[in-house]
Amino acid sequence: MVESTRSESAESGDEPILASTPTSSGDDWQSKLWRNVGITVFLVAAAAVAAGFFFKTDYVALVPGSARDTEPLIAVEGTDTFPSDGELLFTTVRLRTNPSLWEHLWISFDDDSELVPEEVILGDRSADENREANLALMADSQDVATAVALEQLGYDTISSNGVLIFEIVEGASAVGVLEEGDIIRSIDGEPILAASELVDFLVDKVPGDEIEIEVQPVGTDGREVRSVVLGPREDNPDQAFLGVGPIDQIEFLDPEIPFDVEIDSGSVGGPSAGLAFTLAILDDLTPGELTGGAEIAVTGTINFDGSVGSVGGVEQKAAAVRELGIEYFIVPLALGEDRIEQVRIRGGDDVQIVPVANIEEALAFLETLGGNVQALEEFTPSAS
């Protein structure tokens, strides 16, 4: 059989047809099958990979942002200013809303970033509404920062008439009862005119206590009374915890100030640059170097009494400070020991973390760097 097949092949001038031809046909069929299977698997895998880029998760990613010099953002008209060689930089965190499946996976392995459920950041707002709310909070914080700086220089500029909520802590008693942007006016009939008064009120409460909070809902002029059962603090279960980030809602006293201060922060939102702006305005209005010529990153809200409030995303801000090679980072003492320790870890060995409770402590630290804090005491307020 084999010889006959070869003879026919030779006579026709074609390649020899071997006796194994039927087996070869089977191999071709199997090869085609496996090739088709391979192509199918590849196409399915490619489709899955592509789908991962289009599938959006219900999270918000907090990633390191930037540290921006405040001096170019502040414009003072009507009096002398004193440019500084040092820099006071306000820090930011970038929000990535609804990262893709693959972004989510990548960020989950990044120690400097954090994934937070979308409802924790946005609540009932859309991303655009949240952006507008944060821009409004930034505008309020700039007003407070300006007023606090002027108070430090001897002007009587502001009073507080309520507590503006800029943050709701995940899982806290306030969730579902209060909203970011609400203004607390009183608790149990007692006026609450400043963030410090809210803190003082809660000190005497224990978990399980029910309180009646009078609020001015966000975007309205009306008042509502809402009941909240206080929960425990995570770091102190015996202490009552409402779970809000408060800043002062202020009113200006229309003082006679012979100059104007304007701050342009562009598209950056939120109240966390309050302390940085306060210090930068003071640096602008007084001779010498308030920073001692150093480059200093700052975060923290500012209240009209000069206290510095907690802010979010500080770990990501510390990572940005580290990457930018900035040596000093002033943060709120109100973050608590555990978070401050996490900030130190993210900042690394080359960043000195400086927790402060109020503007006086921030100024005291700047003085240790050679800052001309004495110039604030020598400033003479003048009327227009």
For residue 16, the model assigns a pLDDT of 45
Residue keyed to tokens 């200006």: 252
Confidence of residue 277 (pLDDT cuts 50, 70, 90): very high
- Helix (H) or strand (E) holding 159, with range, is strand 158-168
- Cα separation, 90 vs 72, whole angstroms: 12
Compare 25 and 170 and report the one with higher pLDDT: 170
Model confidence pLDDT, tens digit, residues 4-32: 433 343 334 444 444 444 555 556 766 77
Domains of the chain, by residue range, sit at: 2-53, 66-92+127-157+254-384, 158-252
For residue 78, the model assigns a pLDDT of 87
Indicate the fold that domain 158-252 takes in CATH.
Pdz3 Domain (2.30.42)
Q: Stretch 273-299: mean pLDDT, rounded?
A: 94
Model confidence pLDDT, tens digit, residues 344-355: 999 999 999 999
For residue 298, the model assigns a pLDDT of 97
Structure tokens at 379: 């400033």
Compare 324 and 161 and report the one with higher pLDDT: 324
Compare 80 and 14 and report the one with higher pLDDT: 80
Q: Stretch 283-306: mean pLDDT, rounded?
A: 93
For residue 46, the model assigns a pLDDT of 64
For residue 141, the model assigns a pLDDT of 86
Share of the chain above pLDDT 90, in %: 41
Q: Stretch 260-275: mean pLDDT, rounded?
A: 87
- Cα separation, 225 vs 216, whole angstroms: 9
Confidence of residue 329 (pLDDT cuts 50, 70, 90): very high
For residue 211, the model assigns a pLDDT of 94
User: Mean pLDDT for the chain?
Assistant: 83
For residue 6, the model assigns a pLDDT of 38
| CATH code of the domain made up of 66-92+127-157+254-384 | 3.30.230.10
For residue 187, the model assigns a pLDDT of 94
List, in sequence order, every beta strand (DSSP E) within 169-294: 183-187, 190-191, 210-216, 224-229, 231-232, 240-241, 244-252, 260-263
CB 279 within 8 A of CB 362: yes
Confidence of residue 179 (pLDDT cuts 50, 70, 90): confident
Number of C-beta neighbours around residue 369 at 10 A = 16
CA angle 378, 380, 384 (to 5 degrees): 160
Least confident of 11-20, 41-50, 83-92: 11-20
- Cα separation, 163 vs 3, whole angstroms: 102
pTM score, whole prediction:
0.73
Confidence of residue 42 (pLDDT cuts 50, 70, 90): low
Residue 322, pLDDT > 90, answer yes
Which of 114-123, 124-133, 241-250 ranks highest by mean pLDDT?
A: 241-250
